[in-house]
Amino acid sequence: MIDGAMLIGAEARQADKRFTSVDPSTGKTLTPDFSSAGPDAVDAAAALAAEAFPTYAATDPETRAAFLEAITDEILALGDELILRAMQESGLPRARLEGERGRTVGQLKLFANVVRQGDWLDATIDPAMPDRQPLPRPDLRRMNVALGPVAVFGASNFPLAFSVAGGDTASALAAGCPVVVKGHPAHPGTGELVARAIAKAVEKAGLPAGVFSYLPGETNELGGAIVRDPRIKAVGFTGSRGGGMALMKIAAERDEPIPVYAEMSAINPVVIMPHALEARGAALAPAYVQSLTMGAGQFCTNPGLVLAIAGPALDAFVEAAGQALTESAPTTMLTPGIHASFEKGVEALASHAAVTTVARGKVGEGVNQAVGALFRTDAEAFLADRALGHEVFGSSSIVVACRDFAELKKVIASLEGQLTATLQIDAEDEADAKGLIPVLADRVGRILVNGWPTGVEVAPAMVHGGPFPATSDGRTTSVGTGAIYRFLRPVSLQNLPASLLPEAVSDANPWGIARRLDGKREASPR
């Protein structure tokens, strides 16, 4: 059911102030209208979350894992209503949204297994050494504990997998943190459906209602009020650099500053190494254009920058890429605002004196259509104007021709922090590529070879992060099992009698988790 409510724990409430969403493919306003949550709702949701925190954080792994799995059941039970609403609100096609639902459910299940397996607790026991000279060693036991209620800002470009029940929510709930979601105003109906599914799972699991609340709204005041609330202890965010920075500032200025894990902007350099360029430059073009234009280019992993050494092989690549882009179909963007900012970004590049427009995609009928754009410049111009390295969110990319390898390295070193870097290499390029790895690792969260950066695997070894401004904290990842560590902190317990020890570090190990005992990894009892 969608009736425009906000969810304060189990309670669906309507706010007097309302907002609407639009179908970006038609520009028409959708029904119903939605509650625009105000300060009272923030206060009530944060109070419930704080009340729920001690009980929820103390749940045993099996209870918490079963709850995460119950959320997946409730999401799947929404059936086609969820997909149809998400299609209407985002302009994304059915197949993409069905895939995204699969990813959302898969992420929750993955975190359920993570919770059961127990490595996230990092349980570490250094037994007492009462006879040690010159001083005895105390009994020390360390484990991770949940931070407290977490605010989650869903992303517009993944209305399921990075939104209400997305990776931030899944990892925070897995860590034992209640979640207050600030719903993205571009897909409030989708958000409400998923929020109601989570609330049902909370109820069925017999957990305190404050484990999850959902606050829809279109104002910056709402987001600010959630982050300012003293009961909120961490923030997960995916969106614009401006939005992420604003929330970081608010969080830092609180009486008690809190961490903000914001994933913001990136242009994801692709380096085509000389032998690969020579041998198969033109052949690389179609896959590059496909990665660039997929989903109207609305991925933070979109390949927005190509670096290579100038010459006939690069010219052939650019020509083939231009040709492929010319044939690319226009695609509906997520919101009128995102479309307008894409057009503005493309216009700024197109009118730049040092930039050539190589090609544009097909122009279509209708509103909010992304027409792909490919540009070319040289390294000197790129290095002289930082604006050329700013993200244009959508299917826009710029090829930078470098004089030689030294200049190419200079361009890489000049880049802001990025989510990804891609190397296209042949066997003969490997020696030079090896030298680039540390330079790239200094700038990005993920380095990939002979692939394309869009499409992030949800896996234990994934890093979807990177130095600022790709994210606000390059020590973390927002995708994959590592995302749980953003919402945990270590606590050391010294000389506690057995009766006071939490299960995770008690001698009996009733949860059967793998631990580190006296510096050595214990064999996993599982």
Ligand X SMILES: NC(=O)C1=CN([C@@H]2O[C@H](COP(=O)(O)OP(=O)(O)OC[C@H]3O[C@@H](n4cnc5c(N)ncnc54)[C@H](O)[C@@H]3O)[C@@H](O)[C@H]2O)C=CC1
**CB under 5 to 8 A by kind: which of ligand AKG, ligand X, none does 275 bind?**
none
Strands 260-263 and 18-19: unpaired
User: Catalytic residue among 100, 192, 218, 263, which?
Assistant: 263
Least distance (Å) from ligand AKG to the CB of residue 456?
Answer: 4
Contacts (CB under 6 A) with ligand AKG, residues 427-456:
454-456
Contact predicate 139/494, CB 8 Å: yes
The answer to whether the Cα torsion of 206, 207, 208, 214 is positive or negative is negative
Measured from the CB atom, is 479 or 484 closer to ligand X?
A: 479
Among 4, 148, 188, 239, binds ligand X (CB under 6 A): 239
Tokens of 183: 């719903």
302 versus 509: smaller Cβ distance to ligand X? 302
Minimum distance of ligand X from residue 155's CB (angstroms):
5
Q: Binding ligand AKG by CB under 6 A: which of 67, 299, 317, 393?
A: 299
Q: Does 300 participate in catalysis according to the annotation?
A: yes
Specify the amino acid at residue 179: V
254-260-266-268 Cα dihedral, nearest 10 degrees: 150
- How far apart are the C-alpha atoms of 346 and 416, rounded to whole Å? 20
Q: Which residue of 7, 125, 155, 463 would you call a contact of ligand AKG, by CB under 6 A? A: 155
DSSP classification of residue 13:
E
Closer by beta carbon to ligand X, 190 or else 265:
265
> 184 vs 275, which CB is nearer to ligand X?
184
Q: Is 220 in the site for ligand X (CB under 6 A)?
A: yes
Cα–Cα distance measured from residue 447 to residue 426, given in angstroms and rounded to the nearest whole number: 16
Q: What are 246-249's contacts with CB under 8 Å, separation 24+? A: 246/220, 247/153, 247/223, 248/472
Site for ligand X (CB under 6 A): which residue of 41, 68, 267, 338? 338
Q: What are phi and psi of 462, to 5 degrees?
A: -75, 140
Q: Is 230 helix (H, G, I), strand (E, B) or coil?
A: coil
Cα 511 from Cα 502, distance rounded (Å): 11
> Residues 218, 300, 343, 416: which is the catalytic one?
300
Give the residue at shortest CB distance from ligand X. Answer: 223
The label of the residue with tokens 């996230």 reads 120
477 and 464 Cβ atoms separated by less than 8 Å: yes
Closest approach, Cβ 97 to ligand AKG, in A, equals 13
Report 173-232 residues binding ligand AKG (CB under 6 A): none
CB 448 within 8 Å of CB 423: yes
238 binds ligand AKG (CB under 6 A): yes
- Asked if residue 249 binds ligand X (CB under 6 A), the reply is no
- What the block records as the tokens of 310 is 């100038």
Q: Which stretch binds ligand AKG (CB under 6 A): 17-25, 30-38, 298-306, 317-325?
A: 298-306
263 sits near ligand X (criterion: CB under 6 A): yes
Residue 456 binds which of ligand AKG, ligand X, none (CB < 5-8 A, kind-dependent): ligand AKG
Burial of 161 (C-beta count, 10 Å sphere; 0-12/13-18/19+):
buried
Judged by CB under 6 A, the chain residues 20 through 59 that form the site for ligand X are: none
φ, ψ of residue 255 to 5 degrees: the values are -60, -40
**DSSP notation for 180-212:** EEE--TT-HHHHHHHHHHHHHHHHHTT--GGGE
Is residue 240 close enough to count as binding ligand X by CB under 6 A?
A: yes
How many chain residues are in contact with ligand AKG, going by CB under 6 A? 12
Residue 160 within binding range of ligand AKG, rule CB under 6 A: no
Give the one residue of 71, 155, 248, 402 binding ligand X; rule: CB under 6 A: 155
- The whole-angstrom separation of Cα 62 and Cα 67 is 8
What is the pairing mode between strands 28-29 and 444-449?
A: unpaired
Q: How far is the CB of 103 from ligand AKG (least distance, A)?
A: 8
- Partner that binds at residue 455, options ligand X, ligand AKG, none, CB closer than 5 to 8 Å by kind: ligand AKG
Q: Does 301 bind ligand AKG (CB under 6 A)?
A: yes
Pairwise CA distance, residues 83 & 94, whole Å: 7
- What's the rounded Cα separation, in Å, for the pair 150 and 176? 10
Q: Contacting ligand X (CB under 6 A), which of 32, 99, 106, 243? A: 243
Applying CB under 6 A, among 7, 161, 264, 456 the residue interacting with ligand X is: 264
263 is catalytic: yes
Identity of the residue, 185 or 330, whose beta carbon is nearer to ligand X in the bound complex: 185
User: How many CB atoms are located within 10 Å of the residue 347 CB?
Assistant: 12
User: Whole-angstrom Cα distance, residue 108 to residue 172?
Assistant: 11
Task: Compute the residue count for the chain.
Answer: 526
Cβ neighbours around 498 below 10 Å, total: 8
In the complex, what is the shortest distance from the CB of residue 266 to ligand AKG, in angstroms, rounded to a whole number?
9
CA dist 31 and 214 (Å) reads: 19
On whether the CB atoms of residues 331 and 436 are closer than 8 A, the answer is: no
Among 148, 176, 189, 223, binds ligand X (CB under 6 A): 223
By a kind-dependent CB cut-off of 5 to 8 A, residue 246 interacts, out of ligand X, ligand AKG, none, with: ligand X
Binding region for ligand AKG (CB under 6 A) out of 37-45, 108-116, 156-164, 498-506: 156-164
- Binding partner selected for residue 211 from ligand AKG, ligand X, none, CB under the kind-specific 5 to 8 Å limit: none
Report the catalytic residues. Answer: 263, 300
Residues near ligand AKG (CB under 6 A) are 155, 157-158, 162, 238, 299-301, 454-456, 464
Residues near ligand X (CB under 6 A) are 153, 155-157, 182, 184-185, 220, 223-224, 238-240, 243, 246-247, 263-265, 300, 338, 341, 393
